Amino acid sequence: MILRDVRRNKLKTGLIVTLFFVFITLLIYFLSLWLFDSIYIAAFVGLSFSFITAFASYYNSDKMILKINNARPATREEFLQLNVSLESLCISAGLPMPKLYVMDTPALNAFATGRNPKHSVVCVTTGLLNKLDKYEMEGVLAHELSHIRNYDILVSTIAIVMVGFVSILADICSNSLIFGNRDDDSKAGAVLMIVGLVFIILSPIFATLLKLAISRNREYLADASAVEIARNKEGLIRALEKLETENEPMQVNKATESLFIVNPLKGKEKDSLWSTHPSTVNRIKKLQNIQ
């Protein structure tokens, strides 16, 4: 089951990266064609930019996400029990110890990121540390370790960074349309306008599809795997109950919302086609049915 999910996530990551590569190459190609009036230069710039952004997404996406969310290292001196709990769960799961970070916020939340188990990060909020007991915290940590073991982090982290790149490029294209001036070549200007409008329209759709590619079922699977790792479903159930009743929205970059154990931008998540998380109530019901 786990090996099948890992293979599926790796295949999904390859598909996302390929679509992103083609999309960005075409966008940069048309922008460069308008700027340089040369097919060869435009093709070179488009391909070069796509290779660089794909490389940066794969190797530096975790650092970008930690920086965006103002996370800091959870040192052993300051957070001894948290480090000990994570080390114990890693032994149980057969995983290397991920880097451990915290976010200074009263909201209750956590996320995992990285590209593989050897290069992974678990981040929790200080609000979570203050509100959860040891077993509840272990349930949350086990949930995040499940995402790491299943390679969910690879899919979600790369998708998030690529969504950011697409949004930035759409803004550049939009500004070019507004402030650009190509009176000397009305044909090139018309091409840019058409291409720019197409990509401006496609950009939010592309970003939404990338998020939806990260199936909500991964949260159910991570919950079930967490019970296997922690050997205690009650801890995660109580933790989710607190996240449902005692939590509050937190200020995070919208592009990263799908990473967290519960949606950080909403108080309560309802199941819908466009939601990034399944409802906490439904997750608790599924956990209670585990024998």
Whether residue 12 is found in the same domain as residue 134: no
What pTM value is reported for the model?
Answer: 0.79
Whether residue 186 is found in the same domain as residue 75: no
Q: Among 213, 241, 260, where does a domain finish?
A: 213
CB-facing half-sphere around the CA of 183: CA atoms within 13 A? 1
In contact, 146 and 112? CB cutoff 8 Å: no
Mean pLDDT (whole number) for 238-257: 86
| Per-residue pLDDT, 134 | 94
Whether residue 240 is found in the same domain as residue 100: yes
Is 257 marked active-site?
A: no
Q: Among 213, 230, 263, where does a domain finish?
A: 213
Q: What percent of the chain has pLDDT over 90?
A: 36
Whether residue 226 is found in the same domain as residue 284: yes
In this predicted model, what pLDDT tens digit does every residue of 4-22 receive, in sequence order? 666 776 676 677 667 777 8
| Per-residue pLDDT, 6 | 62
Domain hosting 264: range is 71-150+216-288
Q: How confident is the model at residue 173 (pLDDT cuts 50, 70, 90)?
A: low
- Report CA Rg, the chain: 21
CATH code: domain of residue 238? 3.30.2010.10
In this predicted model, what pLDDT tens digit does every residue of 31-76 receive, in sequence order? 776 667 677 787 788 788 777 877 777 788 889 889 989 999 999 9
Catalytic one of 78, 87, 136, 144? 144
Which of 160 and 120 is assigned the larger pLDDT?
120
Q: Among 191, 213, 235, where does a domain finish?
A: 213
In contact, 211 and 270? CB cutoff 8 Å: no
**Phi/psi of residue 216, nearest 5 degrees:** -65, -20
Whether residue 46 is found in the same domain as residue 79: no
Residue 94 DSSP class: T
Whether residue 232 is found in the same domain as residue 169: no
Per DSSP bridges, beta strands 119-125 and 99-103 are: parallel
| Per-residue pLDDT, 177 | 55
pLDDT tops 70 at residue 24:
yes
Whether residue 224 is found in the same domain as residue 134: yes
Whether residue 128 is found in the same domain as residue 176: no
Whether residue 62 is found in the same domain as residue 75: no
> What gap in Å lies between CA 23 and CA 21, rounded to an integer?
6
> What gap in Å lies between CA 231 and CA 252, rounded to an integer?
32
Question: In this structure, what token pair is assigned to residue 79?
Answer: 């957070």
Whether residue 282 is found in the same domain as residue 160: no
Question: Number of structural domains, the chain?
Answer: 2
Whether residue 13 is found in the same domain as residue 79: no
In this predicted model, what pLDDT tens digit does every residue of 263-275 receive, in sequence order? 888 755 555 555 6
Mean pLDDT (whole number) for 84-88: 96
| Per-residue pLDDT, 248 | 82
Whether residue 80 is found in the same domain as residue 146: yes
Q: How confident is the model at residue 221 (pLDDT cuts 50, 70, 90)?
A: confident
